Amino acid sequence: MQRWIYHQTCGKKSKKVTTIWTLALYLLLCITLFSITFFLFPHNSFNPINDYNVLYVEPQLNFKDCDLSKGQWIRDERGSLYTNFSCPTITDSKNCLKHGRPNTDFLFWRWKPEGCELPRFNPKAFLNLVRGKKMNFIGDSVARNHMESLLCLLSMEETPKDIYKDADDRNRIWYFREHDFTLSTSWTKFLVAGFERTHANKTGTGIYDLDIDKIDEQWAKDLPNTDIAIVSAGHWLFRPIYIHRGDETIGCIFCNLPNMTQISLKEGFKLVLSISMDVITAKTT
Ligand SMILES: *[C@@H]1O[C@H](CO)[C@@H](O)[C@H](O)[C@H]1NC(C)=O
Ligand SMILES: *[C@@H]1O[C@H](CO)[C@@H](O)[C@H](O)[C@H]1NC(C)=O
Ligand SMILES: *[C@@H]1O[C@H](CO)[C@@H](O)[C@H](O)[C@H]1NC(C)=O
């Protein structure tokens, strides 16, 4: 299941908190920047801690003129901000260097938008911005990776407390006491309710039915308790999927049936995303 990865971003707010779209977008880019740097660097050739602790300068980004999603990955000799030594929350399965990954090139990249410079992620500034807030990553393993990467970055400033983990270790909650900041993940494959069809012998077929009238339970349940949502899902849609709206079947993705409306991956993604955004908007207005 870890193969189906993809991400998408949006911002959300709770009842009374101001929308933090821009912050969410900025955050996502910062996280994306570091999300490939999960598998940390041995603590020799650079000091990961010394250049985040600079005086906080308000990022002067003009989002109107700068499309943050247009750009490229460029080399960054400064390397990752954190290492497997500095990050107390790194999961063993993602500790590549500990498990013998021989190369470290993957740690030296950063995202460069065409129209502007992104300031380097500053955990101190970030934690001050989100003081008192609850941020939730909604999505699949990519969302989870982003959350864990952010955890490692923020751990440079404060070690979070692990306050919740479900039996499958899919939904997690971390709390930064000094900053009263909660960071969590709500696991969902499709954002909307999805069910796998099974063979007569009860094994899964890899074919799914989605109901775009219902968002997935876990994040529906967590939404009232969320100030900032990062929606990050999509790769599970790369398979045969029948899309329904309640009792009505709208069509299918990758099923190739002559008697059924073909829905492209992009259209399918728009459908699940638009109901997700509707639900988030409804909660915030
Ligand atoms: C970090 O990675 C190194 C290999 O580069 C490994 O020897 C060490 O055990 C790891 N440390 C932790 C705390 O995971
Ligand atoms: C279950 O049934 C499917 C379809 O008939 C078959 O391909 C699969 O091997 C079966 N699995 C088991 C564990 O019996
Ligand atoms: C479409 O064709 C498939 C395979 O021939 C059949 O199983 C299915 O019931 C048909 N669906 C509809 C909506 O007619």
Q: How far apart are CA 231 and CA 52, in angstroms?
A: 27
Ligand 2 atom closest to the CA of 203, numbered from 1: 1
> Is 259 a pocket residue for ligand 3 (Cβ < 6 Å)?
yes
pLDDT in tens, 191-200: 999 999 999 9
Has residue 141 got a pLDDT over 70?
Answer: yes
Task: Please give the Cα distance from 281 to 285 (Å, whole number).
Answer: 6
Q: How many domains, the chain?
A: 1
- CA–centroid distance, 257 to ligand 1, in Å, is 51
Asked if residue 12 is part of any domain, the answer here is: no
Ligand with smallest separation from the Cα of 45: 1
Specify the residue with its C-alpha closest to ligand 3, atom 14.
259
- Single-letter residue type at 45: S
pLDDT at 33: 38
In degrees and rounded to multiples of 5, residue 267 shows phi and psi of -65, -40
Residue 27 has pLDDT above 90, yes or no: no
CA 175 – CA 90 distance, rounded (Å): 15
Per-residue confidence (pLDDT) for residue 17, from 0 to 100? 34
Residue 39 lies in a domain: yes
Reply yes or no on whether the pLDDT at 4 is more than 50.
no
Q: State percent of the chain over pLDDT 90.
A: 66
Expressed in angstroms and rounded, the spacing between residue 47 Cα and the centre of ligand 1 is 15
Chain segment 224-244, per-residue pLDDT in tens = 999 999 998 899 999 999 999
pLDDT at 76: 95
pLDDT at 61: 58
Average pLDDT, whole number, for the chain?
Answer: 81
Q: Name the residue of 82, 87, 95 whose CB sits within 8 Å of the most ligand 1 atoms, as the mutation to test its pocket.
A: 95
Residue 187 CA to ligand 1 center (angstroms) comes to: 28
Closest ligand by atom to 83 CA? 1
pLDDT of res. 256: 87
Q: Which of 8, 280, 262 is nearest to 143 (CA)?
A: 8
Give me ligand 1 centre to Cα 83, in Å: 9
pLDDT of 179 > 80? The answer is yes
Ligand nearest to C-alpha 260: 3
Whole-angstrom distance, CA of residue 76 vs CA of residue 34 = 11
213 pLDDT band, cuts 50/70/90, is very high
CA of 257 to the centre of ligand 3 (A): 7
Range picked from 4-18, 43-57, 151-165 for highest mean pLDDT: 151-165
pLDDT at 53 over 60: no
- Measured CA to CA, the distance from residue 228 to residue 134 in angstroms comes to 6
- The residue whose CA has the least distance to atom 7 of ligand 1 is 98
- Rounded percentage of the chain residues whose pLDDT exceeds 70: 78
Q: What is the extent of the structural domain holding 159?
A: 21-284
The helix (run of H) or strand (run of E) holding residue 208 is strand 204-215
Substitution candidate for ligand 3 out of 260, 261, 262 with most atoms within 8 A of CB = 260
Q: How far is the CA of 253 from the centre of ligand 1 (A)?
A: 43
| pLDDT for residue 54 | 43
Q: Of 33, 118, 136, nearest to 81 (Cα)?
A: 33
- State the ligand closest to the CA atom of 249: 3
Predicted confidence (pLDDT) at residue 1 exceeds the cutoff of 80: no
Instruction: Tell me, using a 6 A CB cutoff, whether residue 280 lines ligand 1.
Output: no
Task: Report the distance separating Cα 217 and Cα 24, nearest Å.
Answer: 23
Q: What number of residues does the chain have?
A: 285
Residue 76 lies in a domain: yes
Token code pair at residue 140: 């699949």
In a domain, 5, yes or no: no
What 3 state SS string does 95-130 have? CCCCCCCCCCHHHCEEEEECCCCCCCCCHHHHHHHC
What does residue 55 show for φ and ψ, rounded to 5 degrees?
-60, 135
Residue 16 lies in a domain: no
Query: Whole-angstrom Cα distance, residue 18 to residue 67?
Result: 22
Torsion of CA 35, 141, 285, 63, to 10 degrees: 20
Out of 33-47, 112-126, 156-170, which region has the weakest mean confidence (pLDDT)?
33-47
The one-letter amino acid code at 270 reads K
259: CA distance to ligand 3 center in Å? 6
> Taking CB atoms and a 6 Å cutoff, what residues make up the pocket around ligand 2?
199, 201, 203
Question: Parallel, antiparallel, or unpaired: how do β-strands 181-187 and 134-139 relate?
Answer: parallel
